[in-house]
Amino acid sequence: MLQVTENAAAALESIRQMEGIPDSHGTRLTGGQQPDGDIAVRLEFVESPVETDQVTKQGETEVYVDPEVAEPLAEAVMDVQNSDEGLAFVFRPQMPQQ
């Protein structure tokens, strides 16, 4: 299942607060595979997950993952990094458990 870093959770919470979205809302990831094989992921704040969503948590931050992207992101970690345009969410492979 997708994992979310503390930094990504903090960034999501910061965005939610700046946009005036209630604390009770979670982040939903939707999207799908592009013709070139890459996955396009869309992020939105919603009141609750859809029945078929996978739900992952980091602290108090809930992330709802649409089935269309759940499988491709199953072994990924959602993180955040600085870019020329500001903060960018990135997905990288999970580190193997030792």
**Domain-located, residue 20:** yes
Neighbours of 31 (CB within 10 A): 16
Query: Domain count of the chain?
Result: 1
29 lies in some domain: yes
pLDDT, mean of residues 24-53: 91
CATH of the domain at 57: 2.60.300.12
Is the model's pLDDT at 98 over the cut of 60? Answer: no
Distance CA 82, CA 59 (A): 22
98 within some domain: no
Looking at the domain assignment, is residue 77 inside a domain?
A: yes
Expressed as residue numbers, the domain containing 64 is 3-93
pLDDT at 79 (0 to 100): 96
Report pLDDT digits (tens) over 83-92.
Answer: 888 889 999 9
Give residue-wise pLDDT tens across range 43-86: 999 999 999 999 999 998 999 999 999 998 999 999 999 888 88
> CA 49: distance to chain centroid?
13
Residue at 88 is within a domain: yes
